[in-house]
Amino acid sequence: MKIIICLKQVPARDAVLRLNSASCWIEESDLTFEVNEPDLYALEEALRLKEKHGGEVVVCTLGPARAQQAIKEALAKGADRALHLDDNVFISLDAFGIAQALAAAIRKEDPDLVLTGLQSDDSGFAQTGVILAELLGLPHATIIMEIQAQEKSLKVKRELEAGWFEWMELPLPALLTIQSGINKPRYATLKGIMGAKSKPIQKLGAGELALTAEALEPRQKITRVYTPVKAAKTQFFEGSPKEIAETLLDKLKNEARVL
Amino acid sequence: MSETILVFAEHHAGKLARPAWEAIAAAQHLAGDLKAGVVAAVLGENPGAMANELAQADVQQVLAVASPLLREYTSDGYAAAAAQLIRERKPQYVVFSHTYQVRDFAPKLAARLGGGLASDCLGYRCEGRKVIFVRQVFQGKFYADVEFVGAPPYSVSFQASAFREDAVQRGPAPAPVENVAASLDASTIRVKPGERFREAKQAVDLAQAEIIVAVGRGIKAPENLEMAKQLAEALGGELGASRPICDSGWLPMDRQIGSSGQTVAPKLYLALGISGAIQHQVGMKGSKTIVAVNKDKEAPIFEVATYGIVGDLFEIVPPLTDAVRKMKSR
């Protein structure tokens, strides 16, 4: 089974984010980045499918040079090789443009299965995977919590709201978006890290992918990013932990009247 | 002719769900600002009864889109039927609620139609004829303004309770219902839905709890749960958690609060080390009093908190538990 795993690099979860001077995105200099969390679960799922059914795991990442770090992490964990889509024209793409670029790269690979995380922790549109399936002409299922691969089809457990799930079947080739918690992602071993150094990373730009400006034309743009105006009038307490505990209890008892 | 806003009414097994009405409320609101007309669409094998129910709302028209192949939801079937409808009716905007079902097919539909999809929006504002949609980015740490570029249809999905079900305007008389036969080809529906089920029955019903102490990533390690458990016990409440805690197996799934877990509205909700991503907030923001303890003062949980403590939960919780015990023993 040839599996493509789409992996995005996003600001680290505990990084302190600042807005950039134009207030249209965050300031990316001096920021630490990590692999988007749901993508880590998707990678783990790809590696497990390969261990069980054989085949190849190919990482596909769109991002600037810094994204090499995320790619290397995936290779160290066991992916076989990587496609790195890096081009200045990729910088301001929307979900549709990103999916166009990914589709152009993935089409050439003709995979049996494409996995993505269900959404990214930065912009969080939750669209790229589904658009990618449409562009590749593949059936898809979203928010997946279990995969059972059969000869020519997949049986998958899809998460629904409020604790409900649904089993569904789809023929291969297919695309799945993976939910966090589907498995326990592994850590890279020292051997894996050493081995990753010789694994191929193919760089692809818009030219190699025959992508025209028109195909990448955004359908929407983020015009401004800003700190939310707090609607709730939160009362904040300060002082020593003991003072805070006493103030809080007093408020809960005498103001909110919930104790 | 005035512009049309098409609104998608979600249902489960023939029953209109709350997101359907929230989407209608959103479409009516947007139509008011744009002086446009609202057309509601419901897809199914036999959507007539639901269409009549939708016709009670103040809308121009209800479309009952029927096909035997729409008996169960599939992304292939819904995207194909909705694409046909939108190509024929040419709405300016298509409005959805940001549900799991919509996440499954709306991006596919928008990609097929050639328009953008602003997903998971909190609301919008108008500047003249221009509509600017507002959504969260970076897990709720910031908001972003999103504008469409290029040609319509412009699709937008709104977060749960961004618009309220009870804000739906009723019409003076039922709106006309039009039956539309979707022409679908069975061979294009590749995904086969199976049974729906819940995991092993819920051992705790957090919805019944009056006090909930919930923990998030800030608790750091499973052995630290004991501290939260003691506070919950002292308060006579239940222990809950955000998704990552249950994903890690530190607490069973039936303790999970949020869009994929339980929805709770206790009189007191203490969020310890929970940043408050929207997926968590939708499961608890109906709580009467919310106390949040988090070391990040920008954490979105503080947007819904009644009382906030910016600090280390490991320093705050033990004296709080002591104080509660002392109070109770008096």
Lowest-pLDDT range, B36-40, B73-77, B160-164?
A: B160-164
Q: What is the mean pLDDT of residues A214-237?
A: 88
Interface with B, mutate which of A8, A230, A259 (most B CBs under 10 A): A259
CATH architecture of A2-204: 3-Layer(aba) Sandwich (3.40)
Q: What is the DSSP letter of B206?
A: G
Q: Tell me the per-residue pLDDT of B268-304, one tens digit each, with 9 for 90 and over.
A: 999 999 999 888 998 998 898 999 999 998 899 998 9
- Is B197 in contact with A165 (Cβ distance < 8 A)? yes
DSSP-assigned states of every residue in chain A: -EEEEE--EEE-TTPPP-B-TTSSSB--TT--EEE-HHHHHHHHHHHHHHHHH--EEEEEEES-GGGHHHHHHHHHHT--EEEEE--GGGTT--HHHHHHHHHHHHHHH--SEEEEESS-SSS----HHHHHHHHHT--EEEEEEEEEE-SSEEEEEEE-GGGEEEEEEEESSEEEEEPTTSS-PPPPPHHHHHHHTTS-EEEE-TTTTT--TTTT--SEEEEEEEPPPP-S-PEE--S-HHHHHHHHHHHHHHTS---
Residue A148 in contact with partner chain B when CB distance is under 8 A: no
How far is it, in rounded angstroms, from Cα B53 to Cα B59?
A: 12
Long-range pairs, B312-316, Cβ under 8 A, ≥24: B313/B218, B313/B219, B313/B272, B313/B273, B314/B224, B314/B227, B315/A241, B316/A241, B316/A244, B316/A245
Q: Tokens in use for A26?
A: 């965050």
Closest Cβ opposite residue B75 in set A95, A140, A245? A140
Best residue in B122, B190, B204 to probe A by mutation, most A CBs within 10 Å? B190
DSSP A162-222: GGEEEEEEEESSEEEEEPTTSS-PPPPPHHHHHHHTTS-EEEE-TTTTT--TTTT--SEEE
* Per-residue pLDDT reduced to its tens digit, A5-51: 999 999 998 888 999 999 999 999 889 999 999 999 999 999 999 99
The CA distance from A115 to A96, in Å, is 17
User: pLDDT at position B199, please?
Assistant: 73
Which residue, chain included where needed, has tokens 């783990």?
A: A44
Beta bridge partners of A154: A149, A170
Q: Cβ A163–B319 below 8 Å, yes or no?
A: no
Question: Minimal Cα–Cα distance from A149 to chain B, Å?
Answer: 15
Q: Which domains can be identified in chain B, with CATH numbers? A: 4-188 (3.40.50.620), 206-329 (3.40.50.1220)
| B47: pLDDT strictly greater than 80 | yes
Given an 8 Å threshold on Cβ–Cβ distance, is A164 in contact with B198? yes
Does B103 contact A at CB distance below 8 Å? yes
A218·B137 Cβ contact <8 A: no
pLDDT tens digit sequence for B83-106: 999 999 999 999 999 999 999 999
The domain locations on chain A are 2-204, 228-259
B248 to chain A: closest CA residue: A181
**Nearest residue to B262 (alpha-carbon basis) of A143, A146, A161:** A161
Distance CA B254, CA B262 (A): 8
User: Is B191 in a helix, a strand, or coil?
Assistant: coil
pLDDT of residue A189 exceeding 90: yes
pLDDT given for residue B316 in this prediction: 95
Nearest CA of chain B to the CA of A219: how many Å? 5
B307/A217 touch (CB, cutoff 8 Å), yes or no: no
Yes or no: say if A113 and A173 are a contact pair by the CB < 8 Å rule: yes
Interface with chain A: mutation pick from B75, B148, B204, B280, highest number of A CBs within 10 Å: B75
- Whether the per-residue pLDDT at B1 is higher than 60: the answer is no
Contact A79, A59 (CB under 8 A): yes
On chain B, the residues whose CB falls within 8 A of the CB of A28 are: none
**Does the structure show a pLDDT above 90 at A167?**
yes
Contacts of A234 in chain B (CB under 8 A): 292, 302-303, 305-308
pLDDT for residue B200: 61
- CB count in 10 Å sphere of residue B208: 9
All residues of chain B having their beta carbon less than 8 Å from the beta carbon of residue A216 are none
Q: What is the ipTM, given to two decimal places?
A: 0.90
Which tens digits make up the pLDDT trace of B190-205? 999 998 888 766 677 8
Asked if B258 is an interface residue toward chain A (Cβ–Cβ < 8 A), one would say no
**Residue A22 CA: distances (Å) to CA of A26, A28, B124:** 9, 13, 21
CB contact under 8 A, B303 and A232: yes
> Across the interface, do B309 and A234 touch by the CB < 8 Å criterion?
no
Answer positive or negative: Cα dihedral of A216, A221, A224, A225. Answer: negative
- Which chain B residues in 181-210 lie under 8 Å from chain A, judged by CB atoms? 190-199, 202
Q: Are B6 and B65 in contact (CB under 8 A)?
A: no
Cα A13 from chain centroid (whole Å): 13
pLDDT > 60? residue A223 = yes
CB-based contact (8 Å) between A241 and chain B? yes
Q: Is A139 on the interface with B (CB under 8 A)?
A: yes
User: By CA distance, what is A23's nearest residue in B?
Assistant: B144
